[in-house]
Amino acid sequence: MDSQWGYLLNFLQYLVVTIPILAVGIYIFVMTTPYKEFELIKNGSQTDDPKKMAAAKAASHDLGGKVIGLAIVLASAVYHAVNLWDLVVWGFVGIVFQVLVFYLFEWITPFKVVSEIPNGNVSVGIFASRLSIAAGLLMAALISY
């Protein structure tokens, strides 16, 4: 029975560290883009304007993909971390990596992602989302190496 308490305590310690890293990641993702994701998402649900609804979808895909990508990195970091500090380091490396991937995407595309998403280009939001998830999967694999 004592080992069960140890497992539960370990679970709670990693949970108390992981959830704030995810929250900080979301905050940093929102702060490093020139558009306001939560405002676009909110405005898209309170209107019949197709452009605002599309912008909300594009923003939610983009931000959601970053969150999933970071969660994948954090899951791998939890699994491979030798201690809680190791998890923290990999979590913040994952956040930086997600931001860099977004701006690399912005740099290499023939259009401006930062203007397409607020203008309601859902395809760009979906593609950005998939890029973030792919980056998270790659980073997760690299942590295990």
- Per-residue pLDDT averaged across 121-141, rounded? 95
CA nearest 86: which of 96, 76, 100?
76
Is 6 a domain residue?
no
Instruction: Specify whether the CB–CB gap between 104 and 134 falls below 8 A.
Output: no
Distance CA 62, CA 49 (A): 20
| Owning domain of residue 53 | 16-143
Q: Tens of pLDDT along 39-76?
A: 999 998 878 889 999 999 999 999 999 999 999 999 99
Q: What is the pTM of this model?
A: 0.89
Domain count across the chain? 1
At 79, the pLDDT band (50, 70, 90 cuts) reads very high
Is 60 a domain residue?
yes
Is 122 a domain residue?
yes
Is 78 a domain residue?
yes
Distance CA 39, CA 46 (A): 11
Distance CA 123, CA 141 (A): 27
Is 9 a domain residue?
no
In the numeric block, which tokens belong to residue 117? Answer: 């998403």
How much is the pLDDT for 2?
64
How much is the pLDDT for 3?
78
Is 49 a domain residue?
yes
